[in-house]
Structure 1
Amino acid sequence: MSTYTARLEALRDQLKRQSLDGFVVPLTDEHMSEYVGAYAQRLAWLTGFEGSAGSAVVMPEQAAIFTDGRYTLQVRQQVDGNHWQYVPVPDVTIADWLAEHAAEGARVGYDPWLHTRQWVEEATQALAESGATLVAVESNPIDAVWADRPRPSEARLAVQPDDAAGKSSAQKRQEIADWLAAKKADAVVLSALDSIAWALNVRGGDVAHTPVALAYAIVSADGTADLYVAPDKLTDAVRQHLGNAVRLHDRTAFAPALAGFAGKRIAADPDNAVAAIFDALDAGGATVLPLRDPVVLAKAIKNAAEIAGHRAASVRDGAALSRFLRWVEETAPKGGLTELDCVAKLLEFRQATGVLKDTSFDTISATGAHGASPHYHSTPESNAELKPGELYLVDSGGQYEDGTTDVTRVVPVGEPTHEMKDRFTRVLKGNIALDTVRFPRGTNGGQLDSFARRPLWEAGLDYAHGTGHGVGAYLSVHEGPARIAKPNYPGGGPSVPLEPGMILSNEPGYYKAGEYGIRIETLVLVVERAISGGDSPMLGFETLTFVPIERSLILPDLLTPEELAWLNAYHAKVLEKIGPELDADDRAWLAAKCAPIG
Structure 2
Amino acid sequence: MSTHADRLRALRDQLSQQSLDGFVVPISDEHMSEYVGGYAQRLGWLTGFGGSAGTAVVLPAEAAIFTDGRYTLQVREQVSADHWSYQPVPEVSVAEWLSAHAPAGARIGYDPWLHTADWAKAAGDALAAKGATLVAVERNPIDAIWADQPGRSDARLSVQADEHAGVSSAAKRQDMADWLKTEGADAAVLSALDSVAWTFNVRGKDVDRTPVALSFALVRDDGTADLFVAPDKIGDDVRQHLGNGVRVHDIARFEAHLRGLAGRTVAVDPERSVAAIFSALEAAGATVLRRRDPSVLPRAIKNAAEQAGHRAAQARDGAAMARFLKWAAETLPGGGETELSAAARLEAFRAETGLLEDLSFDSISATGAHGASPHYRVTEESNARIEPGTLYLIDSGGQYRDGTTDITRTIAVGTPTAEMRDRFTRVLQGHIAIDRAVFPDGARGSQLDSFARAKLWEAGLDYGHGTGHGVGSFLGVHEGPQRIAASTYPGGGPAEPLRAGMILSNEPGYYKAGHWGIRIENLVLIEPREIDGAEGRFLGFETLTFAPIDRTLIDADALSGDERMWLDAYHAKVLQRIGPLVDADTRAWLTAQCAPISGDGAA
Alignment check: 8 A CA contact 2:271 2:491 kept: no
Q: Which moved more, 1:540-549 or 1:330-339?
A: 330-339
Shift of 1:493: 5.8
Partner of 1:335: 335
- Mapped to 2, the partners of 1:534 and 1:203 lie a distance apart of 42
- Mapped to 2, the partners of 1:131 and 1:506 lie a distance apart of 47
* Post-superposition CA distance 1:504-556 (Å, at most 9, x none): 00000000011000000000001111211221210111100001011000001
Shift of 1:442: 1.6
Alignment check: 8 A CA contact 1:526 1:540 kept: yes
- Mapped to 2, the partners of 1:263 and 1:378 lie a distance apart of 51
Instruction: State the AA in 1 paired with 2:121.
Output: E
User: Secondary structure of 1:64's match?
Assistant: strand
Partner of 1:539: 539
Partner of 1:134: 134
Shift of 1:492: 8.9
User: Secondary structure of 2:217's match?
Assistant: strand
Partner of 2:418: 418
* Post-superposition CA distance 1:277-327 (Å, at most 9, x none): 000000001000000000011100000000000000000000001100110
- Mapped to 2, the partners of 1:125 and 1:281 lie a distance apart of 22
- Mapped to 1, the partners of 2:129 and 2:206 lie a distance apart of 41
Alignment check: 8 A CA contact 1:481 1:493 kept: no
- Mapped to 2, the partners of 1:41 and 1:95 lie a distance apart of 22
Alignment check: 8 A CA contact 1:107 1:135 kept: yes
User: Secondary structure of 2:466's match?
Assistant: coil
Partner of 1:73: 73
Shift of 1:333: 1.6
User: Secondary structure of 1:260's match?
Assistant: coil
Q: Which runs of 5+ in 1 are unaligned?
A: none
Instruction: State the AA in 2 paired with 1:593.
Output: Q
Task: Report matched runs for 1:289-328 at 5 Å.
Answer: 289-328=289-328
- Mapped to 1, the partners of 2:96 and 2:489 lie a distance apart of 17
- Mapped to 2, the partners of 1:13 and 1:487 lie a distance apart of 43
- Mapped to 1, the partners of 2:375 and 2:169 lie a distance apart of 35
Shift of 1:558: 1.2
Instruction: State the AA in 1 paired with 2:19.
Output: S
Instruction: State the AA in 1 paired with 2:30.
Output: E
User: Secondary structure of 1:587's match?
Assistant: helix
Identity of aligned residues (%): 68
Instruction: State the AA in 2 paired with 1:32.
Output: M
User: Secondary structure of 1:357's match?
Assistant: strand
* Post-superposition CA distance 1:206-259 (Å, at most 9, x none): 000000000000000000000000011001100000011000100001000001
- Mapped to 1, the partners of 2:102 and 2:412 lie a distance apart of 49
- Mapped to 1, the partners of 2:327 and 2:203 lie a distance apart of 33
Instruction: State the AA in 2 paired with 1:409.
Output: R
Shift of 1:588: 0.4
Shift of 1:488: 2.5
Partner of 1:146: 146
- Mapped to 1, the partners of 2:556 and 2:231 lie a distance apart of 60
Using structure 2 for the length normalisation, give the TM-score.
0.98
Partner of 1:510: 510
User: Secondary structure of 1:25's match?
Assistant: strand
Distance 1:25 1:373, change over 3 A: same
Task: Report matched runs for 1:260-271 at 5 Å.
Answer: 260-271=260-271
1:32 matched to 2:59 = no
What is the root-mean-square deviation in Å for CA atoms of aligned residues?
1.0
* Post-superposition CA distance 1:374-410 (Å, at most 9, x none): 0111111111111111000000000000000000001
Partner of 2:85: 85
Partner of 2:461: 461
- Mapped to 2, the partners of 1:267 and 1:333 lie a distance apart of 57
* Post-superposition CA distance 1:145-191 (Å, at most 9, x none): 00100000111000000011000100000011011011111000000
Alignment check: 8 A CA contact 2:187 2:221 kept: yes
- Mapped to 1, the partners of 2:368 and 2:402 lie a distance apart of 34
Q: Which moved more, 1:529-538 or 1:320-329?
A: 529-538
Partner of 2:584: 584
- Mapped to 2, the partners of 1:549 and 1:390 lie a distance apart of 17
Partner of 1:359: 359
Instruction: State the AA in 2 paired with 1:347.
Output: E
- Mapped to 1, the partners of 2:489 and 2:319 lie a distance apart of 33
Instruction: State the AA in 2 paired with 1:185.
Output: A
Shift of 1:66: 0.3
Alignment check: 8 A CA contact 2:334 2:388 kept: no
Number of equivalences: 598
Alignment check: 8 A CA contact 2:366 2:393 kept: yes
Partner of 1:281: 281
User: Secondary structure of 2:295's match?
Assistant: helix
Distance 1:490 1:462, change over 3 A: farther
Task: Report matched runs for 1:15-26 at 5 Å.
Answer: 15-26=15-26
Alignment check: 8 A CA contact 1:434 1:448 kept: yes
Partner of 1:481: 481
- Mapped to 2, the partners of 1:86 and 1:215 lie a distance apart of 34
Task: Report matched runs for 1:66-215 at 5 Å.
Answer: 66-215=66-215
Instruction: State the AA in 2 paired with 1:74.
Output: Q
Q: Which runs of 5+ in 2 are unaligned?
A: 599-603
Task: Report matched runs for 1:549-560 at 5 Å.
Answer: 549-560=549-560
Distance 1:407 1:383, change over 3 A: same
